[in-house]
Structure 1
């Protein structure tokens, strides 16, 4: 199993998630991450419809010419031309005129990997995740896509790993149920779980954590800030789980803020460090855009947190659950 750093960078933001980012900012973000010791980058064809992979590949070619950084990307969507002129599609702004089309079949996985290699300028991929399986994304089509993956796409992932073209394989999802389902069907080296094991959702992933202990599967936690609310706080919150936060969530964040303030710890520092306390968690990958966010993340990662704070935020979470 490939060794994953405890802190990485999620790259959806440099694919213009929610707002446009220029090429220079994307390049400088990756350069600052590398300079700060962040050597793991997670990306996907879906992020800006190839834009994030292209920008990451260009930045790493310039600032990591020997290919020492670890890169994970994903399969499950193919990018097809579109005539849409919409400024924002699927949350991404000013992205290329391509439309992501779900396809978890054997051939589609191989096509997706070949395209990602070109954009990333890499022949070998460190980690390959099947992206967004499950009912949360697919609704009534979830069973069909799952069958395509188990019967086809997974076989492609195994073949790539066995041939040494990929270091590790797994899934990248936003829900626990599909992880438990797949662990009963196939072998997964690593699971990227976004937004379900956070300071705000402390117990949602407990069944999965126990299952991963049994199988030896490692967890990577994405979305430690729950799409931003655990950085912005209750007053400025704009996103929770990729959407505007409901009042109950804002109230829970306010309780967590009060608990953190009593120990003079930034809410974001507690949010970033919370998942890293679990031994099954190999790493945490907040989404970053700009050298200032990289610098802030490094401060949060190193912020001293007393054990008493974890008791306090646990109590605050239970009180508002």
Structure 2
């Protein structure tokens, strides 16, 4: 199956491997300016041409750090950059708690949800200023859905459709952005939104991985039918697919301590990978790219060492027998395509 010819023509071609910049916004732990700069520099030097960020990541810190390095390494703006809208940053006391919303020692702002027309336009303008870019390549509406908003989802969703989406369409029509879409943690809201609006791309975090592939049942077919590219974020499901169950406790899945059923499933994945001498993380990183609607996978990278490790994982040769074993063990969705030498996307 090759749906690439039906993809949205406004979305630029995306490389298979991208750089997730949440980590350099001090996600879960502080990252020094030097480490953040080294991570971005190493990624660009290694040939990574797509970088994803958001105002929420460190409350402007990730965008500012990314923009500072790209001003030196990419003055012609040839690299692809995506950022997000749906929150505006409100100044707070610089002495605020050192850990807020999962970010350590972040910038002195509080992220406030705002999916209105004016909120999206303000967020876009402030992101452009922090990034120092003339144009944003991909602009994504961030964190719509019930997993984030609970009972407030309906109100936020309606505000987005009535205002924020119109702002994004205008920015694309004006050439201020090249493509628009969603950046979310749940595919169900993507289907809901696609019933009311047209998008070029969806960044789906953590929902199409070695651990879970329910997106295959309805969401991926809808993307194929409508020409929507998918970017897979969170391919390691918050880290449990990097070191597996042998890493230091606690083991995290979906931003929380992993439940017993997930730990058991990861142990089975580990055992299969061990039989073929394949790092679990390599299988996790390469697996999503086998699906024709998936254009790119964007693991988070906090320093130069993680960039080098990620490149090595992408280059790891995985024998077809591993995928056969995973399918035989019931660890893959029956319809999940797997990488082969003929289908692997060149990084």
Shared fold (TM-score greater than 0.5)?
yes
Q: Provide the C-alpha distance between the structure 2 equivalents of 1:276 and 1:267, rounded to a whole number of angstroms.
A: 15
What's 1:257 paired with? 270
What's 1:62 paired with? 72
Q: Provide the C-alpha distance between the structure 1 equivalents of 2:330 and 2:28, rounded to a whole number of angstroms.
A: 28
- Aligned pairs for 1:5-84 (under 5 A) are 5-83=15-93
TM-score, normalised to structure 1, is 0.97
Q: Provide the C-alpha distance between the structure 1 equivalents of 2:204 and 2:151, rounded to a whole number of angstroms.
A: 22
Residue 181 of structure 1 is aligned with which of 192, 210, 219? 192
Q: Structure 1: where are the runs of 5+ without partners?
A: none
**Range with greater deviation from structure 2 (230-239 or 180-189):** 230-239
Aligned with 2:16: secondary structure? coil
Q: CA deviation digits over 1:10-35, x for unaligned, max 9?
A: 10000000100011110100010011
Q: Does 1:111 align with 2:99?
A: no
8 Å CA contact 1:26–1:55 kept in 2: the answer is: yes
**How big is the shift at 1:308?**
1.9
Q: Structure 2: where are the runs of 5+ without partners?
A: 1-10, 334-347
8 Å CA contact 1:255–1:317 kept in 2: the answer is: no
Aligned with 1:276: secondary structure? helix
Inter-CA distance 34–175: structure 2 relative to 1 (3 Å threshold): same
What's 2:155 paired with? 144
What's 2:322 paired with? 309
Q: CA deviation digits over 1:264-302, x for unaligned, max 9?
A: 110000000000000100100000111111011101111
Inter-CA distance 285–121: structure 2 relative to 1 (3 Å threshold): same
**Range with greater deviation from structure 2 (186-195 or 309-318):** 309-318
8 Å CA contact 1:256–1:317 kept in 2: the answer is: no
Q: Provide the C-alpha distance between the structure 2 equivalents of 1:316 and 1:23, rounded to a whole number of angstroms.
A: 44
8 Å CA contact 2:52–2:81 kept in 1: the answer is: yes
What's 2:291 paired with? 278
**How big is the shift at 1:68?**
1.4
What's 1:169 paired with? 180
Inter-CA distance 276–319: structure 2 relative to 1 (3 Å threshold): closer
Aligned with 2:27: secondary structure? coil
- TM-align CA RMSD: 1.4
What's 1:2 paired with? 12
TM-score, normalised to structure 2, is 0.90
Q: Provide the C-alpha distance between the structure 1 equivalents of 2:215 and 2:76, rounded to a whole number of angstroms.
A: 39
**How big is the shift at 1:197?**
0.1
Q: Which has the higher contact order (CA 8 A, sep 6+)?
A: 2
Aligned with 1:274: secondary structure? helix
Q: Provide the C-alpha distance between the structure 2 equivalents of 1:256 and 1:313, rounded to a whole number of angstroms.
A: 7
